Structure 1
Amino acid sequence: MNRDMESWCNAVADNVNELGRQMQKFQRFQQNYEIDKQIEAMQQLNEKLASNAISYTNLILAAGYAGYLTFWATLSGKVPAWLFSLSGFLILTSLTLFICWEITKMVWGAIHMRRVSKLLAGQKGPQIVAQYQAAYASYQKKTNIVWVFFLVPTVVTGLGAAFALIGFFALNLWKLTFS
């Protein structure tokens, strides 16, 4: 009887220990799940913030181009022809590059979405989310690389146009003030 009791106690202890190990595994799983959910929430928030920032930037750029071109159109005959032509060329180059980037991004995004839709068509389960996120991350990475090649010349030519006119007006102001 003593052996039976000891055997039973050992079996109970083993079961309790096993339950403890299972609980620890479950707690680690739960912690990892919560961390994954937090990471996912942060990624979604980051994407939303980036989207809002892009929308705001595009609005500011559109207003800037409209304002600059409106002002530039009033300068005909008031600035030297070479400066009028140079500033017009630079701002239109900048605007054209910006528009080309937006068109490229739109077409590239549509092609990407079509490709991802075909890839994921008919699939079910949680792996589809991971595959979509991986495809989106790859698209974003490629987009960010190409974006720089449009951004730099767009900014340089746009600011070049503005600084050409600012320089002209600053020089004239200097001459009027100190002559």
Structure 2
Amino acid sequence: MTDNVNEMNRQMQKLQRFQQSHEIDKQIEAIQQLYEKLASSAISYTNLILAAGYGGYLAFWATVSGKVPAWLFSLTGFLILTSLTLFIGWEISKMVWGAIHMRRIDKLLQGQKGPHIVAQYQAAYASNQQRTGTVWIFFLIPTVLTGLGAAFTLIGFFALSLWKLTFS
């Protein structure tokens, strides 16, 4: 009888460990889903800000054509369009790579069943994100430098003009 009670206790402990493990897995999955939603929202917000920034800069730039020297107008136009082209190029590349990667994952996992599918999908997704992140910096740096270069060049010109008007 004691053996039966001990065995039942061991089985109850196993069941409790399984339940705890299952609860932890559910919490991890919920955290991952929340992170993906937050990351998606952050990307959407960033793209909105960038689009508004480029649009605002280009609208302003178009209005100063007769007010700045031709070389400055050309330089700032070249810088901002280079930045915009790099940004658009990155977004298109990311979209194409993502689509290709999803097709590969679909082919890899097609017809398979079981809990290991989720783990394989997550590993493939993480691998794609890591590769994308590695290439991203090569687009980010020149995009930011040329965009800010255009903005600060015009700001510098207007600041110098204001200085001359005020103190001359």
Tell me the TM-score normalized by structure 1.
0.91
Distance (Å, rounded) in 2 between the aligned partners of 1:22 and 1:148: 53
Q: Kindly state the Cα deviation for residue 144 of structure 1 after the two structures are TM-superposed.
A: 1.4
| Identity of matched residues, % | 82
CA shift digits 1:24-62 (9 cap, x unpaired): 121111111111110111011001100011011111111
| Equivalent residue number for residue 6 of structure 1 | none
| Equivalent residue number for residue 87 of structure 2 | 98
Is 2:62 aligned against 1:70? no
| Equivalent residue number for residue 165 of structure 2 | 176
Correspondence for 1:55 among 19, 44, 60: 44
Correspondence for 1:132 among 114, 121, 127: 121
Amino acid at match of 1:25: K
Is 2:26 aligned against 1:25? no
Distance (Å, rounded) in 2 between the aligned partners of 1:146 and 1:134: 19
Correspondence for 1:163 among 141, 152, 166: 152
Q: Kindly state the Cα deviation for residue 79 of structure 1 after the two structures are TM-superposed.
A: 0.5
Q: Kindly state the Cα deviation for residue 77 of structure 1 after the two structures are TM-superposed.
A: 2.1
Q: Any residues of structure 2 matched to 1:10-49 within 5 Å, and which?
A: 12-49=1-38
Q: How many residues align?
A: 168
Once structures 1 and 2 are overlaid, which stretch shifts more, 139-148 or 113-122? 139-148
Structure 2 gap ranges (5+)? none
Once structures 1 and 2 are overlaid, which stretch shifts more, 141-150 or 51-60? 141-150
Once structures 1 and 2 are overlaid, which stretch shifts more, 18-27 or 33-42? 18-27
Decide which structure has the larger Cα Rg and report it.
1
Distance (Å, rounded) in 2 between the aligned partners of 1:84 and 1:53: 33
Tell me the TM-score normalized by structure 2.
0.97
After TM superposition, the runs of 4+ consecutive aligned structure 1 residues lying more than 4 A away are: none
Distance (Å, rounded) in 2 between the aligned partners of 1:139 and 1:50: 15
Amino acid at match of 2:58: L
Is 2:61 aligned against 1:84? no
- Superposed CA RMSD in Å reads 0.9
CA shift digits 1:87-134 (9 cap, x unpaired): 111100100000000110011011001100100100111111111111
Distance (Å, rounded) in 2 between the aligned partners of 1:121 and 1:61: 38
